[in-house]
Every structure is written in structure tokens, then in C-alpha cells.
Chains A and B, each alone.
Chain A
């Protein structure tokens, strides 16, 4: 039997009621961006992408070197959105139960009590996911996909919203279990953070780390508001027929491309649609433009398709961009 975590509001409540205003939501997102911008110097773009990923109910894979602010980003997001935050530091001896939690015998009550693991949070940072064993990775990925956890015969829903930010270190390959491409598909986006630009980094050097202060940031949005936004993006953002047709053309182009051995899966296509919707929303529109699709394709496609070996070392975004340049936009 399934059970809703207590701190999760009902997401199926109709959106757009009197107490909910689209413009206000967009304003508060703007505000959240501004607040976070104070702590995350020069990371506006990854922050934006993370928000898009979050609002389109996907999960985010950040592939970058350590120390570039992945954790800060995750904590900041959780705080500013008024959500709970959990962190899993992956190691090769991490067990699935370390993630999901386990039942422990309570002497006083004489019962096994379930102690939820760190996955029972709204925003989870899974650090260095490629260091966990495949078994643990699978458990995590299953939880991400199904948004529920099965432990000791009990299936439990995870809190809503549920957002995983996984990080992967591309440089260190020794003793790791890199995520296979088929698993990558479960992440809605794969992004890089990159080094902050000079001014931003200088600012960081001047001011020092503000991680401590980040914990005391006042939330701009509530859990309920976040859920409503997610709901609105799914149902309220218009992706018109020409746009769907345009997407189909892009998807077919990936399947036909000479650079790729396998094109975009249907899950990938859905991811492209959802992220495009979120991108449109973030840009203050309630309809999707080809520009949204194109912007999101660069982040939603490269990690899901299989490149021919000879193109393995080419910048994959560039290949996708060249694919996009073969598809005329609809009008």
C-alpha cells in the first residue's frame, strides 16, 4: 500500500484559482533568481537551467569538476523554493538502504520502525553518482523514475516535488562506475556549470564563501506554489501543432543523422517538450516558441543519443546544433 508523505500537499488541486496568479509566480521566480544570484556569482545560466529542469519535473545531472558550486546550487534552490534538502555522498560502499532508509527494531514498541533515508526530501543532491556501485545507482534511478520507494515490501511515495541533482566528475575515472548511456536517459538534462567568469570569481574571493548565509535564506516560494507552477507548466503552456511538428522534425533528424547511431527516445522527446514548456514559462510566455525548443534541445538531447565513435570527442552540443540548423522553423 502506498502512503503519501505527510508534508506533501495534494498536487491535483486545480491551478489558476483566485489565490494563484501566473504573473505573481513568474515574479517570484524572478525574485528567487535574484536572491540566488547573490550567492551564486556568475552561475545564472546553470541556475536557470536547474530551475527549468525542476519545474518540468525532471532531474538534473551536472557533469563538472568538484568545487565549482554544485552543492551551493542545490542548497540554494532548496532554500529559496522553501523545500527540504537532502544530500547523498556516493561512495563505492554505499548501499541502497543508505538511500531509501530502513526499518529498525524499536525495543519500546516492539515493532520495526521505518527510518526514511535521505531520499525522502524534496531536493536531493547526489554527489559523485558515478562512485556508487551499479546496484545503488539502480535503486536511486528507480526512485527517480517512479517517484516512489519500495523498501521491505512497502511502497512509499516520495515527497512532491521531487528533484534530484546528481553530479558526476568527468576527470576522475579510476574506481568509478560511470553511468551507462541508458541510465542517462533518466535525467532530463545534463549541464555543466563551468568556471565563473572573472568578475564573479573576484567577487567570491573578496567576499568569501557564503554557504553559511545560504542556509538562512528566506524562501520566496512555497511548496504548494512550486507544485502549482509545475502543474501549470504541464497543462497550461501551449505547445501548438506547428511546434509539435517542429519537434517531430528534430526528433526524426536525430534518428536519421549520420553522426548518431541511435536517435532520441520517446522519453527524450517528452523531455524536450516538457523542458521547452518550462523554458517558455521562464521567459514569461504561456506558449512555446521554436526558440524554446532549440534552446532546450542543446541540453536535453546530447546525453540521450548515441554518437558514432568517430564523433565521440567532438563537442556534442555542436553536433546537435548542426542538426537543428537543418530543420526549418515552422511558421
Chain B
């Protein structure tokens, strides 16, 4: 009998073990799930019920992060919230990770540590020590509750923490708290008006904010992290110089110390510098020569391990290997300039406008460029990307990572941004200039002959400068001739149908100091639309400046790629047996941030079309969206307008 009972018991245990254990959903999840929610729009995918970060500072470079998150899915699209994970670096240690789910029918699920996979993606970074423990929570669907919790011991390089409060879904409650060792202090900084007051209790500080709206995704908008409300915390021991102060100057000092010794000149670097600069005496010549070398000869390869995300490699190593990331290229160029007697400094910037904020002195940025000290006699007009520090010294900003933009230019995504210029004794926040639209141009000039059948033949010469040249160079230099031809055919097909591209010539493709010139020769047999005695001819032969902008109310600023000037000048000789019968009215609109004008003139047998589009600002506040729509409507209408020719009776 006892044996039989034993056997029955063992069988029962096996059966029980064969089933998944009941999910042990913690109380904090249940409490978050049980709250009454306000109503949300039908397009709201999910709502964050609770987002709570708790930091325990252990030492100057180590802390424990404990995170909790609970989300309710409202729509199918909210299912993506089920994909959760914790990101960590080489010296970090994930202490625990856990997730739970409760579907709309009340079934409960639990994921433990072993259920999480370590995932990474193939990226352009050759290697980094960033990893991710991730999983998909079961039961995700409208009405379900998902929760996630982890604890990580993190190693930090700077005594700062960042709290991004907003997401692309509404947040019901978000909390950030920090526990400091006795005697430590902190300072909190906000991106705008502080959204919460700190509640302090014996070294423990906590902030809570409720009912934050979602940052909706809209086309042509800034990065969500640039828009999100944000708080930074800098913590320190009063009087202890080992901590980075919460100031741009302090961060400058920190970075200066980090990069100390990296720009040491070696005989090899010196030799190469002198070899390149043989016969060159002017500041401009020296700068352009060395800049071209680093742009062209040093490949961009990112390898980021530990502090390597902040600290550049040694100039000698970069020079020998001939590759490096953005801060490495800056390091090598700065070293070579130093050998040439030109002083230069690191500039820490972010490629997303608005991410670096004056009120938030922070090490968080994703790019490094160079500030070259201008001689007193250097004229600003010669260079467009110049900033002036408080001490009156002028610096030319240059990005050696961009292989195609020469000295004096700056890519659109770096303009109108804040950046930290690391000086000899600290740092200063600068605001990068908006280059004039005339420095970033696309100018098209075309001459055509139209015959009686409506066939148009001729050529367009396209001249590009600034970013417009840089992007086209990038597209052309990476592909072979066949792909280039297809690239141009695709471009022309936006404005022409049934055309034959006879030839394209490219000039100054690899001379990045000069504008890029493209000449297209083509024939479009059915360009003019014959209508009995009439013929319709669209004078805007090529070039689409109109764009789609939806008509929903706008919440976020509109961000353009860059400021620019674009012109089209086309001359079309009409057939001998036709005269111009009707010409569209000229167009002129200036809205401040942008302007557009066009006119058509008839000179003998020639129609001359000219238009200009000027975009003066890289971004537009959301309350100006009506202006943008008006502009687009004018451009769209003008681009499709036509001249009417009439056949003359012999």
C-alpha cells in the first residue's frame, strides 16, 4: 500500500511539474492594472500604467538600477509593448529580469530569467559591448496588462543620470528615485519647466509625474528623445574634485581629462603631416589638405567597448590602422593640425537637433566634430560654420566624419544645434549656426527644343553645393556606372514619361572642394500634349519641390533636412508652326521661413521658365503648419501648370 501511494504521489508530482506553474504576478502589477483610466483616443495603442526607476548609488562609478514597468495594451498595434528587454554594457551585470502578462480573458503568464534571450543586431558598428536581454511577453493583445522588471548593476563613466519621461504612448505615472550615500548631494536639471518637485527623505529623493501625453509620431518631426520632457541628475560629494560638476564647463574639463594624451604626435604622424603640407603655407591650404586626408584616408569604423563610447583611441593607433569612429577622426586631425601649428578642440554634439539642451549639461551626445581656431585675420565670409566664444575667439566647426563636405560647410543635421566645445581649461556650450541657403544649393539650367510632334530634346546642367552635393556624391560614389544610370533614370521618371536618357556627364565628382556638376541629355517624345490646334507644354521640365504634408492637426515641430536654395531655369524653343497662346500667372509667396516664386516669359519663339525655392529655417513650430500647407499647395500647383501653344494657320 505504501509503495502504491508513493508511486501515485510521484505520478502526481510529475503531472504538476509538466504544467507551467501559475504566474506569480506581484502586487505592484495588480495595483497598476486595477486603476481606473481616463479615456484615450481610438488611435492610442497602449498606456503606460507605471514606469518606475530606482537608482541606488554605490560609489562614484557604480550604481544599481531597479526598473519596473506596467503597460495596458489598448489596440493591436500596442502589441509591440510585449517586446521587453534590458540593455547593458560589458562591465554591467544583470542581477535579475522578470516579466508578467495577463490577457483580456484573465489568463496570467510569467517569464523568468531563463526565458530571456540575449540578442543583438548586425549593425554598422564593427563591435560594441552593448548587449540586450530580451523576451516577448505572452498574452499580448487589446485589454492585456504587461509588466516588466529588472535589476542591473551598472558601471558609469560620468556621475550623471538621465530620465526621459515621455514616450509615443501616454504615461499614467512615471517615477524616478535615487538613494545616495550619506553626505552626497545632487542637482536636478530639467529640459523645460520642472514637472515635479523632489521629495527628499534621508538620502532618498523621488520625483513623480502623472498623466503625460504621448508624443505622437508625425512625418518630418524631430527625434522623440529631443521632444520628450527630461530630467538629468548630477550627484557628487561636495568639494570632491573627482566628480564632474553639473555644468558645461565641468563636462568640458571631464572630457579634456578623458582625451588627455590621445593627441600625442608621433614621428610617423609628423612625417606624414609635413609630407602632405609640402609647399603649403596658408592657413586655409594647410587646413583643407589635412582635413581631406582624414576625411578620405581614414575609414569610419566604430569599435566601442566600455569607456570607448566616450574616449577616443590614440592618434598613433588611428593613424596606423587608418580607421576609427567620429572622435577618432577628430583626434587624428587635431593632432596633425597641431603639428602644422593650428590649434583645434573637440566639439561634442548630437546629430538629432534639439537633443542637447542648454539647461541640461550632459555627456549624452552621439557625435564629435572639430573646432579649429581661426587666425585673427581669417575672414568669416570664407567660412560658413563659425562660432565665437565668450572670449571673442572664433572657431571654425568641421566634421571629418563626413567624407564629402569640405572645410567651411556643415551638414544640415548639425546646424542650429547646441554643442559642447571642449577648451583647454573647460568647456563652453555653443550654438551652431544656420548656414545661409545659398551655401546649400541645387541649381538647374536647361535648354530644349520642342518639335511639332511634342518631342522635347535638350540638356539640363545641374549644379550642387553643400549638402545637396554631398548627398549626391554619396549616392554616386558607392555604385557602379549601371547603377548610377538607373539612379538618374529614376530621378527623371518623377517628372518625365517615356524618355530616353542619352547621356549624363559628371564633373568634379571627387573634387569635394568644388560644386558637383551633372549634365543630362535626354529626349522625351511625348512631352508636349497635342490637342488638335493646341499643345500643352509644362515649362517645369524637371525637379519636384512639392511634398506631402497631411492635413491632420499638428502637434510637433516640422523638421527639414536642411536650409537650401533651389532654382530651375528652363528655356524651351517652341515649334516653328506654333505660338504661345496662354501662359500661367507668376507666383510669389514669402512666409518668412521659406519663399517660393516663379515666372514665365515669352521671348520670341522661346519660353523661359524660372523659379526659386528658398528654405531659410531647418525647423518650423507646429502652429505654423497652415503656412507650410499653403506653401506646398502653391508649389504643387505651379509645378504642374502648363503653357498652351496654338498652331498658326499658314
Mutual binders A and B = no
Which B positions have Cβ atoms within 8 angstroms of A? none
